[in-house]
Structure 1
C-alpha cells in the first residue's frame, strides 16, 4: 500500500476523523430523542454540552501524557473510550444514560484529539497540523450529516447511527495500531530555532484568544439556530444539514488557506467573521428566516475554520516541540468551552432575550480581531518565523 510512513500518517488522520464523528454526530439525533423519548430541549442541550465536561480533563491529561509516554499510548485508548461511550448511547436512552454516554465520549475524545493533532504535527510538521484540523473538522461535519440521514431513513433510527460510529472508531484504531509509528521523542522532530523564540508563553498568547470562537461559532450555528427553526422545520436532517453547512465551510476555508499559505491575519479575519455571524444570529432573534440561517451557518463555519487553523499553526510554529501535546490540549480546552454555549444561551434567554447575549459575544470577538490584527502588524520584522508571520 505504498510508503509505510504515509500509511501511518493516514491512519492517525483516520482516528481523528472517527473521533470527530463520534463527538459530534449526536447533534443530529437530538430531534429523534426528543420525539421518541419525550426529552425536553433543556435536557438534550445539557446532554449535548456535558460532552465538554468530560473533554476538559481528557484534553489536559492526554496532552501532558502524550508528551511523556508517546502519542499512540494516549490516542488509541482515547479513541476506544469514545467508542465505548457511543455503545452506552446505543443501549441507554434515558436522561442518565445519555449523560453518562456523552460524558464518556467526551473523555475519550479529549484524550484522542489533542494528542492526535500533536501526533500529526510530529509526523508531518506544519502540513500535519493543517491536515489534522481539516480531517477533524470533516469528522465533525460528516458525523451529523450521515447520522441525520440514517436517523431519517434507516429502519432503526436510534440504533444505526451509534453502531456505525462505534465501528468506525474501532476500525480506525485497529488500522493505526498496525500502521502508525510515532517518534519516541517529539522534541526530536523540530528543533528549537537558534534565537530561542519558541516558548510556552508566546504560543499561548497568540493561540488562546482564538480558541473560544472555534466551537462557539459552530455550536451556535448547528445547535442554537437549528433549535430556533425547529418549530417550522423538524426532524434529524435539519441539524445534520446545519452541521454540514457550517463545518463544510470550515473545511473549504482551511483547504484554501493551506493551498494559498495564508498567514496569521487569517486568525484576525476568523475572529472578525465570528463577530459578524453573532450579529446576524442576533438580528434573526427567536425565529430566524431560513435564508438567514444558511448565511449564518456559512459565516460562522468560515470563522470556525480560520480560528482553528490559525490557533493550531500558532502552536506548531511557536511552541517548544516537547510541550506541543500539552499546549495543544490547552488550546482545545479553550475551543471546546464553546460546546457549553447553547446551554448558557438557553439559561440566559428568559431574562435577556435571544439577541443580547449574541451581541455581547460579537463585541468580544471583534475586540480579539482588532487586537490580533494590530499585533500581527507589529510583528512584521525579520525573525526565524518570518515566513509564517508574512
Structure 2
C-alpha cells in the first residue's frame, strides 16, 4: 500500500469516527433533560421546544452546505461542521439557564446539517472500491453514535462529577481525532469557486407524487417516534414508572438506536416495500408496548417494546429512503431526496412539541397515549395502502441502506 492509499484509508476511518462523534454529541442532552428541568424549573412543553429547535436547525444547515460542499470540496465543510459541533458542546458547558439550552441545541443542529452530508459523501469518495463498506460505516456511525452518547452520558450523570458540564467537556476531547482526520484527508472532489448560493424549493414530478407522499409519511412517522424517545422517554420512565436511575432511562434510548442499527445492517437485503410494511408494524407494536408497560409497571415489557420500536424504525426509515431514491428521476433526485429529508426532520421536531405541551395540560402519560393512537392508526393505514397498491411499491434490487 503506497502512502496516498494509506492516507485515504486512515482518513476514511477517522471521518467515519467524526460522524460517530457528532451524533454522540447530539445525544448528550437526552439523559440530562430531567436534571435541567429540576435545576431550572421548566415544563415538558419547553423541553420539547428545546429538542425541536435542534431538528429544525438541521434542515437549513443541510440544504445550504450540501450545495457548498459540491463546490468548495468536502474537507472545508467537514472541518466547519466539526468546529460548529465543538462550539455547541462549549455552549452547553457555560449554559446557566433555558436560553443556553436553546442556543446549544440550535448550534448542534446546524453542525449536524453542515457535516453529515459532506462526510457521508466523503466516505464513499475515499473508498470508491467499497461503496457497501462506506454505507455500513455511515449507518453504524449515525445509530451507534446516538446510542453510545445517550448511555455513556447517563452513566456519567449518575456516577460522575459535574453531571451538567462533564459530558460535554469529554466530548470536546473526543472530537480531536476528527480534526486529525480532516487534516489528513485528501480532497475528494475538484473544488469550484462559489459565486452565490441559491436555494430553491424542491420540485416533485407529478408522476411520483402519490408514491412520494407515502414514502414521506413513513419518514415523518418514524422520525416523530425517535423525537419522542430522544426528548421525553427519560422523563416518562422516571415520572411514571418511578425509576430514578439515569443509566436505565438513557439505556432505553440506546436500546432503540442499537436495535435500529441492527435492523439497518442485517436486513438491508429486504425489498423496500417489505421494509416499510414490516417496519411500520414493528414500530406500532413497540409504541403500544411502551404505553402498556406503564399501568402494569413492567420493565421487561418496556425493554422489549424499545427493541421492537428500534427494529421498526430501522427497517421503515431505511425502506423509505431507498424507495424515495428508487422512484426519483435522475434529473430530479436531488430535489426529491432533499424534500424527503426536510419533511422527515420536521417530523422529528413538531410532533414532539405537541406531546410536550399536551403533557402540560393532560399529563405526560395521556399525551404519549394520544400520540401512540394517532401514529398507530396512521402507520397501519400506510401499511394497508402499500399492500393495496403493491405493484407501485415493488422493487427488485434494493441498494445498501442509507443512514437515518
The answer to whether the superposition gives a TM-score over 0.5 is yes
Alignment-derived partner of residue 92 in structure 1: 95
Cα separation, 2, equivalents of 1:38 and 1:235: 20
Cα deviation, 1:158-180, whole Å, max 9, x if unaligned, reads 22100122222343133133135
Given the superposition, is the C-alpha separation of residues 359 and 81 from structure 1 closer, same or farther in structure 2, using an over 3 Å criterion?
same
Cα separation, 2, equivalents of 1:180 and 1:324: 27
Cα deviation, 1:178-215, whole Å, max 9, x if unaligned, reads 13542338xxxxxxxxxxxxx97559827533321333
Cα separation, 2, equivalents of 1:114 and 1:286: 42
Residue 116 (structure 2) pairs with residue 113 (structure 1): yes
Cα separation, 2, equivalents of 1:238 and 1:30: 14
Alignment-derived partner of residue 194 in structure 2: none
- CA contact 2:151–2:251 (8 Å) conserved in 1: yes
Alignment of 1:1-390 (within 5 A): 3-122=6-125, 123=128, 124-184=130-190, 201=205, 205=212, 207-231=215-239, 232-258=242-268, 261-264=269-272, 265-284=274-293, 289-314=298-323, 329-337=338-346, 338-349=348-359, 350=361, 353-354=366-367, 355-375=369-389, 377-378=391-392, 380=394, 386-388=396-398
- CA contact 1:271–1:303 (8 Å) conserved in 2: yes
- CA contact 1:278–1:361 (8 Å) conserved in 2: no
Given the superposition, is the C-alpha separation of residues 220 and 70 from structure 1 closer, same or farther in structure 2, using an over 3 Å criterion?
same
Cα separation, 1, equivalents of 2:255 and 2:142: 15
- For normalisation by structure 2, the TM-score amounts to 0.80
C-alpha displacement of 1:136 = 0.6
Given the superposition, is the C-alpha separation of residues 334 and 75 from structure 1 closer, same or farther in structure 2, using an over 3 Å criterion?
farther
Given the superposition, is the C-alpha separation of residues 66 and 318 from structure 1 closer, same or farther in structure 2, using an over 3 Å criterion?
farther
- For normalisation by structure 1, the TM-score amounts to 0.82
- CA contact 2:279–2:312 (8 Å) conserved in 1: yes
C-alpha root-mean-square deviation of aligned residues, in Å? 3.3
Q: Which moved further from structure 2: 116-125 or 222-231? A: 116-125
- CA contact 1:129–1:312 (8 Å) conserved in 2: no
Q: Which moved further from structure 2: 265-274 or 310-319? A: 310-319
Cα separation, 2, equivalents of 1:158 and 1:346: 22
Cα separation, 2, equivalents of 1:105 and 1:369: 34
C-alpha displacement of 1:81 = 0.6
Given the superposition, is the C-alpha separation of residues 159 and 295 from structure 1 closer, same or farther in structure 2, using an over 3 Å criterion?
same
Size of the alignment, in residue pairs?
Answer: 372
Structure 2, unmatched stretches of 5+, are: 192-202, 400-404
Cα separation, 2, equivalents of 1:322 and 1:69: 22
- CA contact 1:222–1:239 (8 Å) conserved in 2: no
Cα deviation, 1:334-356, whole Å, max 9, x if unaligned, reads 33332443321122343593322
- CA contact 2:147–2:253 (8 Å) conserved in 1: yes
Structure 1, unmatched stretches of 5+, are: 186-198
Given the superposition, is the C-alpha separation of residues 219 and 379 from structure 1 closer, same or farther in structure 2, using an over 3 Å criterion?
closer
Alignment-derived partner of residue 195 in structure 1: none
C-alpha displacement of 1:233 = 1.2
Cα deviation, 1:75-118, whole Å, max 9, x if unaligned, reads 33122212201100011131111111111111111111233334
